[in-house]
Amino acid sequence: MYQDPLARIGSALKAFRRSRGLTQAQVGALTEIDRQTVSDIERGQFTGSLRTLMRYLRYANLELTATPAPSRFPTLEELADRYGPDDD
């Protein structure tokens, strides 16, 4: 099942915070991130700067990496549906 990458990051950070017995406000104070922003990150709703997200990730000793998404070529039927018959 697909899970949004921001939601996965948020879940990992939330699990880290809870494993340390910290509140969002405490994490916010330790990372100099507003408590509401910590909440947004943990819910996968963060739309702020990458720098802010990286500050929380570094605090949690986590690393942000990019991996190629699996690609799938369209079938001939999908192409025909998309482009239809040639009218020329």
Query: What is the pTM assigned to this prediction?
Result: 0.74
Q: Grade residue 67 by pLDDT with cuts at 50, 70 and 90.
A: confident
Q: Domains of the chain: which residue ranges?
A: 5-59
Q: Grade residue 88 by pLDDT with cuts at 50, 70 and 90.
A: low
pLDDT digits (tens, 9 = 90+) for 27-38: 999 999 999 999
CB contact set of 44 (below 8 Å; sequence gap of 6+) = 4, 6, 7, 8, 9, 10, 11
Q: Which amino acid is at 52?
A: T
pLDDT at 87: 54
By residue count, the chain amounts to: 88
5-59 adopts what CATH topology? 434 Repressor (Amino-terminal Domain) (1.10.260)
